[in-house]
Each structure stands twice: as structure tokens, then as C-alpha cells.
Structure 1
Amino acid sequence: MMKKLLSIAMLSCAVTFASAAVDAKPLRLGPVSVYGTLGVKSGKIVSQASGKQVMLRGMSLFWSDATGSQYYNPTVISWAAEKLGIDVFRFAMGIKCYNSNGGDCQANSDDAIISANSYLGNKEGKEAQLDNMVKAAIENDIYIIVDWHSHRAESEKSYAKDFFGRMAAKYKDVPNIIWEVYNEPVNTDMGTIAGYANEVISTIRGNGSKHLALVGTPFYSQMGSCSGVNDANSAYVFHFYAASHSLGSFKGNIEGCLNGGKAVFITEWGTTDANGTGNVSSSETNNWTSYMDQKNIPNCNWSLRHATIGGKTEASAMFDGSTLLNSKAALDNAKYTTSGNLVKSYLTKHNNKNWADSLVAGKNTGSCAFKGASASEMDGTITGKAVSSCTYTSSDPTVATVENGTIKINGAGYAVMTGNDNSQSVVLITQVPAQTFEQAAITCRITGGGACNNFTGNSSAKLEYKMKVTKTVEGSDVTYESDNPSVISVAKATCTSSECYGDKGQQVWIATFKSRGTANIHATAKAISGYRALDTTITFSLLKAEQTLNTKYFKDQTVALNSTTQVFTLEAHKVPVTYTIYPAGYAEQQGVNLIAGGKNATVIIKAEAPENDQYESLLSYIKIVIGTGDVAMEAQAWAEIQGQNFIAPKTQKNLAPTLRMNGSQLVVDVKRSGFVKVQVLDVAGRNVVSNVSRYMKAGTNTVDLANVPRGLYIVAVKDGSAMQTIRWRNK
């Protein structure tokens, strides 16, 4: 409903795969373990397992752009589940940049974005972000709405079917999932919406997902009509903003659907005007929340973020101020907006559900039954609950087991203990959060510079590094110890040099790099109230300097036929450099110059130099296009470099893909749909990513290379017989 220009600019560097969501397990007990996968029965949203009606209350995240993505954070979700009692949250995945009427953003406006920062230009990054949030939903045992947050989804049908089909297959066995296939149609009639939804939902079902599917309704999901969707396990979406949409004016739309046997889910509601600003209407908000509770309509408030970002203020945001709140401590101390206070009151009023009793309802009776067994994962054991004369089978021994009446704690989560009398009892083990530690791994070069300098004035110290972190974010003092002090030692020392800045004259932790090699630096901090002790290691290394060539000359470039161009550097740091041109016969080296032949060609030049006392060995590549170039010849060159036989391709030059790097995202523009191969080579010519085959549609595609270690690489993409390469330094 947010009637304004909404830019969907995801921070591609912010998202990585911690681990696959499908491998996660609940670390607390919530509605998903009780209800399971949701569905629709007799016009109500129900548990598919029991058929009982389900009522959910939660929050929608803001658009997954540069503004909203800051809150797409597992810590935020865990906090909201614990402190606000949310049963569900909404992943508002922006597809591209729209204005409030569903049209394109203005080309040069502040809201205009490059395609690589939208879902359509950054699929890998967005899907990685989704996986992290599905994992957070699983661990908190709450539902996640996967929302195609679009104003014109019918024109994006092929993309939606591709996305929902693949995600349905991936998450078909994850009960936490709810699909929202269309957020807010604008000028689209219900027949068109339903036609789109039927195709997308059919794709979801065809890929094994039985999860509840939600469908937007006309005019910003105001529900002027709700019909035409032929999937029995689907519900219709309604949105309201209390200061713009009074209950008296709009409840008739909802009741028209409910009375027609249609299920309704309010996936977005606010306390303000429809544009997210303006005054908060407390009275109308209370009317709506009472109505939703009375009718058992599941709902999500808009939105979980702080109010002021980039000079713009969202009155509908949960938190006041302009400070990012994505740690538990920051959220605990957050100040709420007027809207946030209303929403907090509504959510926490219902944060008293006893999920443990619901899970074993009717089974928590018998001589072996017990109630109220809960503890922290740090407690070790629980006594006085289980019956010593009974034996118990644990549903999850990694959480807890029972031996002779003592409950042994093995980890966070919950376990159902089935006694030998078939009674069932629940053990809840609360996860103690880790402290936040933000000291990065450090690599220094023996030639100095960068992060490594002299901080203590000790002339015998080769190089030193002043630790950035002396306390965890939560306030516990950090202690460091090296496992290889003959290479890198760590100790407290007085910072004396001009490099110390604000720490001059202070006792700080200093790492001293004594000789080439690597050491693991052990960082510890004592447990403090609400957080477990810190115990981790970070890697520090002292390496030779990197050899480099003069990039003024040795660089990718286009040269004219029969031209002479300075390209080469004869020595690198007093070490001779050897050059090889692939394939031979189209250009030659004469001293520092490249003499181009008279034919259109594309050649690869490999530069090699041995290591010496101070510098690492060198292996580097550049591409020279002679005249108009020859794409097939470039593929031949790489085949020769890799020692492979080359079969001359029969392909048109204009079918070659174009490549660029956007941080750790490889952006590939292909001319035709089909399978392409992606390969990443290190400077030694070894495969780091080897011939990964990906189906790409004509246009812009992305490949996430975030897991590739730091270094210099050649990235090659082969589309049929056409190949393109680029150099990439992953920093």
C-alpha cells in the first residue's frame, strides 16, 4: 500500500549462505510445531494436520531494498519472536523498481536503481537472503510469508513461475512456508489476477509444495472482489492503513469474501496514512485489531524497521530514530514510534500462548507425565521434573535425554519425552545468544603498509597490528592469545606512535608479526548477563608482498591491426618476467612492445615471474583484442592455457555473453536462453569453481561467488561455443 516511489536495491554484499535452511531445526517452540503446514478449509485458514482454525499475528519486513534489508537479519527475527511474540513474518521481496502506480521509476530520480540490485538482476543474492530468513523462521518455529512484492506481477509471470517453482521444490518439506504470489495489484482486474495466480500456484503444486498460497486483490489489495482462483488451498489478501481506510468503509469488502466461503489473510496493515506517513489513527487502529481478532483473520503489520533513513521518515515504522537496530541489545533498548507502541501492545497482549501444552494436549497425563521442564542450554541438567522410575524416549536427543529421572541438557531446542506409559511431556531448552565479535582476520605483507604499522615504537618489532576490538558489542572484555607466538605474538602494550590516534598512551592489544607464516589468534571473553562466553579464533598471516605489473600498460585493451603498443614490463621488482601469447601467430613481443598482426584476433597474454625473498611469484593474464577481435579465438586461447584440445566452434560473434563483477556477484548478460558454464581459475590455473552449469534466460543473470576466497582470478563463462573472460580481484 505504500504509495510512493519504492526502490528495490538489495545490498548484494550483505547476504551469504550460512548453511542451507532445510538443514535447520527449531531452537524454540512456536506455532509451526503445533499447527504444521497451513491450508484452507470451509473459508478458514487451518492446520492441514488437525483441520483446526489458525490465528497468526506478526510483522512484515520493509521492501528488501537497501533500506529494508538491514532488518533481514536472524537476530531481528529471533528478538521479535521472543519479545513481541510474532507468529509470522513477511519477506517483502522487491522484484524491480516501481512507482506507486506500478509504473517504472523515473530514469534519473533518487529512486532509480540498476538492475543488478533488484531481484531480476540479483537472483542469486536474493535467494540467498531468502534462505537465511527461512532458516530464521525454522529456528524460531514461526511462519514466513514469501511475498512477490510487486504491483504488476501479471507482466512478470515467467519470472514468478520460475522463482516459485524452484523455491517450492526446495522448501516443499518445510512447514513454515506461506506463498504470497502477488502483493498489490494496482490497475489489474480480478480475472487477470486470478489467471496469473492459477498458473503460478499450479507451478508451486507441480513442484511438490502443499503450502498455503495467498493472492492479492484489485486496487492495492483492497478486495473489491475475490474470485477465480481455483486452488482449494488458497486465500485472498487484504491490505489497510487505518488513517486512510476506516473499518466501517472497508470491512464490507472483507465480509463479502468471508461470507462467500473465501479465506482472508491481511498480509499488510498500518496505523498511518496509506503512504506510510502522516498521523497515526489510534482509534481506527484499535477498531481494526479488535475486528481481526474477532474474525480470526491472520495479519502482519507494516513494518519492522527504524523510522528515519536517508532523511526520509516512515511513521508506520516500528522503531523511532535514525539508528540501525539489528543486535539484541539495541533492540532491547529501542524507542518505539507512536505506531510502534500501538503494534507492540497488540502483539504482546497475545504473547502468552503456551505452545508446550498445545503440542501435547490430551497426552500429558499418566504417572510419567511432567510439566514445566525448561532451562537454559548452559544449565547442564534439570532435576525434579522427570520420574526416576520411568523411562523416556526423546524426540530429539541432541536437545535433551532422561537418565534415572535427571534431564540431561545437550543443546537448544525442544524435545518431547514419551514415557513408558505413553504420556508425553515437553522439555524446552533456551538458546543463550553469542556475544557479538567483529574483529576481522588480518593479512600483513612484509613490506608493511595497510593495517600493519609500528604502534609501540619498538624498533625490534617488524610489523604490528592494533586490535580493533577490545570489548564485545555487549560489553565483555576480550583477551587474545596466539597459538604460534614465534610467528605472531599478541600482548597488551602501550600505544605510542602517531598511528595510535585516539589510543595514544593507552594500553591496547597489539599483534606483533615476527616472521612469515600464519597464526590462529584465540579470542575469549567472559559470559555476561544474557549472553554466553566468547571463544573463537581468527587467522593472522604475514606474507611476502604481491608482485605487480604496471597496469598503465599491462591491461585488457583493444589495439589496431599492425599496430605497436607498449604492453610489457621486462622486470617486476628486479625479477625477469616471462610472457606467453595464446594462440601464437597473431601478435608478438618486441621488448616492451606488442606488435599486432594484420588479422582480427583475440589473444590472451600470460605473465609469469618467480618469487624472491620479498615478493610472491607472479601469474597474471590480460586479453588483447586486435582489430574487431575473434571470440572463437579467445576460447581457443583458454583451451590452450588449460591444456585442453580445442575444437573450432561454429558460432556467431554476437552470441558471446558479456560479463562484469558487482562485488562478489558475477553479472552475465546472455543473448539467448540456455545452459552456460561458469569457471573460476586462480593465478596458478587451478579450478576454484569448475564448470558449473547454469540455465540462464536471455538478458541479465547473476552468479554468487561470495564463497570464493580472497585473491586474483580469471572468471570464464561459456555459452555454447562462445566464451568470455574477465579478471577479478576478490578483496
Structure 2
Amino acid sequence: MAWQRSVAALGVAVALPLTGVTTAGTAVAALPAGSPAAVNGQLKVCGVQLCNKNGKAIQLRGMSTHGIQWFNGCNKSQWWDALTNDWKADIVRVAMYIAAKDGGYETNPRKFTDLMHSYIEEATRRGLYVLVDWHQLDPGDPNVYTAKAKTFFKEIAARHKDKTNIIYDIANEPNGVSWSKIKSYAEQLIPVIRAEDPDSLIISGTNGWSTFGHSDKQDPSVVLNNKVNATNFMYSFHFYAKDHRDDYVSVLDRVSSKVPVFVTEFGTQEATGDGPNDFAMTQKFIDLMKRKKISWANWNFSDDKRSGAVFQQGTCSGTSFSGTGKLKPAGVWVRDIVRSADQW
């Protein structure tokens, strides 16, 4: 899956026309009327469903950024305008890589924490849900980063605890590690967040690159019979349709009937995020997720050279992001799926 990706560093941070980030105790600005987060409010888990403030089962659809250490050059007002008004997304997933070898959080925790604050504030001004993605990937054992994760999530939760549009994803794609160790990590992190923010949704990846162990040829019962001890909690599932076929559809169908599942990352192509698209196979997943109201975020809303990045290379150096003129085939296809989705 995403473990195979490597990209060249592109560009530098582009300043956004943002107001100052909020601090603990500062009043939270009202969400724009009619926006996804304003209409649905504080999310909560109802059985195996994601529900809105009124207890109605809903499906959120949206996009993931690429790694913000590489593609923060996309982070400008017109990019946000396209995601919000043209794509009509409900959610943005902000992918913050962790490892120093990827140029991530470890290289400068203060810089990346502040950058995450800025993404959260911009998503809030747009009325989007924002998924804070602790993009742990290599090494695959999230326990390597437990202390760093506690520091990061404590600050994020303390500052944004009064927002109703924030979602915490504490482990992206655990790999090469047992479910019991991932569960142990999750049960250490969740209380840190809950001490600051008792209400918001928390998600964790599962073993086998967030496939409930299927990519490691393990049966999902390993997870299903040993659930994380937490409330308002969901499990993530990832797929790339060119490589992950009908058996993955079956696994997603099975696990989502037993526990609450959020597809926090998927692509229409190979697990590298590159190669040929398979829209027919992707549609099988889309149909299942629509039927079962499984929320999702597509990889990714950037101009990386790979086929999974929706924009053509060089798009982020300009200001034109709306419409289909700057989109690759995957972008045209996914945009249509997001725009034509049922209204909650």
C-alpha cells in the first residue's frame, strides 16, 4: 500500500490568508451555515455506523492531502475553494508523515504541529470535517512513536477540543506488527486525547496496512475478537483497487458489519499510488460503501506525478483547481463520485 511510495520534495509552504490559530479557551467561530460540519455537528458512533449529532447514520466523502512535508505548496485558498465548492467534499484528511527519513514530524515537531493547526483552522472556516492523520508508516509498529504521538495529540486535542469537526487518526498503516501491539498502542493514546477532548471521534489503523490483517493473510477475527476498549472509536480500512480485488471487498463487507469502519484512504490504482486505474473494481467498493454508509477519503488531492494524485503536475504552482481541466483521469472520476454522492 502506501508503504511503497516515495516522492521527491516539491516546493515550499505557500502562505494562506489565515487568521491566527486559536488557543485553548478561545471561542470557536461558527461553522458556515449549510456546510457539512454545521449540518451534521459532533459525530458519534451508533452501533457500527457513523452518526451525526441527531443520531442519523451518515456517510462522509472527501479527499486526503499528500504528505504535507512534500506538497504544502498545494495549500492555498483556491485549492481549498475547489475542495469545498467544486468537489463539494465533506472531509479533508491531512496526511502528516512521521519518520525523519520522509522529512516528517520527527524533523521538526513544532513546525509540523503548527502546520497541522493551520490546516484544522482552514477546514473549520470552510465547514469541513478534518481528519488529523498521524501518518506512521515505516517503521510499521506505531509503538515506536508512542511518546511523540502523546505529545502531538495532547496539544492538538487541547487546542481544538471545542470544535465539532475534528477527527483523530492515531495510526495510519500499521504493518509488520501484531494486532495486539497495535491495540496496546491505541489504548495508551486514546486516554491522552480523551483527557482533553472527551467527545470527538478517534480512529486507528489495523494490522496489514489497515486491512484487518488481510494483506498479511490473517483472518479479521484477530481484530474482531479483540476489540479496542474505547468509545466513539472506529477502525480504518485501506484499499487500492488495481491490486486489491474482490476478496478485499468481502473483507470490508464482513468487518463493517461487526465494527464501525472508516475507509481513511483508498485509490483507484496500484498500491503504490501509481500505475493504471481500475475504475470498475473501485466502483464495487464505492457501491458497498454507499450501501453501508461507510465514510471515505481518496488518495490524494495533490499534483504528484503518480496517477493517484488527482491534479496534473505543476497545478499547485498556479491558482486554477476547479473544474476538470487540470485533472488526471483518476481526478475526473473521483470528483464525479464525490459531487454526485447522496446528501448525508
Q: TM-score, normalised by structure 2?
A: 0.87
The runs of 5 or more residues in structure 2 that have no matched partner are 214-219
Distance 1:193 1:4 in 2: 21
* 1:498-513 aligned within 5 A: none
SS of equivalent to 2:34: coil
Residue of structure 1 in register with 2:113 after alignment: 127
The aligned amino acid for 2:21 is A
1:292 pairs with 269, 286, 289, which one? 289
Residue of structure 1 in register with 2:54 after alignment: 50
SS of equivalent to 2:110: helix
1:72 pairs with 68, 71, 75, which one? 75
Distance 1:78 1:209 in 2: 31
Distance 2:8 2:60 in 1: 27
Residue of structure 2 in register with 1:316 after alignment: 308
Distance 1:178 1:293 in 2: 21
Summarize the Cα distance change of 1:244–1:196 in structure 2 as closer, same or farther, 3 Å threshold.
same
Distance 1:209 1:138 in 2: 19
Contact 1:325 1:334 in 2 (8 A): no
Distance 1:326 1:204 in 2: 38
Summarize the Cα distance change of 1:286–1:133 in structure 2 as closer, same or farther, 3 Å threshold.
same
Give per-residue Cα distances to partners, 1:299-352, cap 9 Å, x unaligned. Answer: 000000124xxxxx211111224332552x4544732211111101101112x7
Residue of structure 2 in register with 1:83 after alignment: 86
Contact 1:213 1:233 in 2 (8 A): yes
* 1:186-335 aligned within 5 A: 186-224=175-213, 225=220, 226=223, 227-246=226-245, 248-260=246-258, 262-307=259-304, 313-324=305-316, 327=319, 329-332=320-323, 334-335=325-326
Distance 1:11 1:174 in 2: 31
Distance 1:92 1:14 in 2: 17
Give the deviation of 1:24 after TM superposition: 3.9
Regions of 4+ moved over 6 Å: 7-12
Give per-residue Cα distances to partners, 1:618-642, cap 9 Å, x unaligned. Answer: xxxxxxxxxxxxxxxxxxxxxxxxx
1:93 pairs with 89, 93, 96, which one? 96
Q: Answer 1 or 2: higher relative contact order, Cα 8 Å, separation at least 6.
A: 2
Summarize the Cα distance change of 1:42–1:5 in structure 2 as closer, same or farther, 3 Å threshold.
closer
Residue of structure 1 in register with 2:66 after alignment: 62
* 1:397-436 aligned within 5 A: none
Q: Which range moves more in the overlay, 229-238 or 69-78? A: 69-78
Residue of structure 1 in register with 2:42 after alignment: 37
Distance 1:253 1:79 in 2: 33
SS of equivalent to 1:50: coil
The runs of 5 or more residues in structure 1 that have no matched partner are 98-104, 106-112, 308-312, 356-731
Residue of structure 1 in register with 2:156 after alignment: 167
* 1:574-585 aligned within 5 A: none
Distance 2:116 2:29 in 1: 14
Residue of structure 2 in register with 1:587 after alignment: none
Distance 2:134 2:9 in 1: 15
Distance 1:130 1:15 in 2: 14
Summarize the Cα distance change of 1:85–1:5 in structure 2 as closer, same or farther, 3 Å threshold.
closer
The aligned amino acid for 1:230 is N
SS of equivalent to 1:65: helix
More strand by share: 1
Residue of structure 1 in register with 2:21 after alignment: 20
Contact 2:13 2:75 in 1 (8 A): no
2:335 pairs with 316, 323, 344, which one? 344
* 1:542-691 aligned within 5 A: none
SS of equivalent to 1:292: helix
Contact 1:302 1:317 in 2 (8 A): yes
What is the aligned length? 326
Residue of structure 2 in register with 1:118 after alignment: 104
Contact 1:148 1:183 in 2 (8 A): yes
Contact 1:7 1:65 in 2 (8 A): no
Q: Which range moves more in the overlay, 7-16 or 264-273? A: 7-16
More helix by share: 2
Contact 2:240 2:266 in 1 (8 A): yes
The aligned amino acid for 2:136 is S
Give the deviation of 1:94 after TM superposition: 0.8
Q: TM-score, normalised by structure 1?
A: 0.42
The aligned amino acid for 2:301 is L
Give the deviation of 1:13 after TM superposition: 5.6
Summarize the Cα distance change of 1:229–1:8 in structure 2 as closer, same or farther, 3 Å threshold.
farther
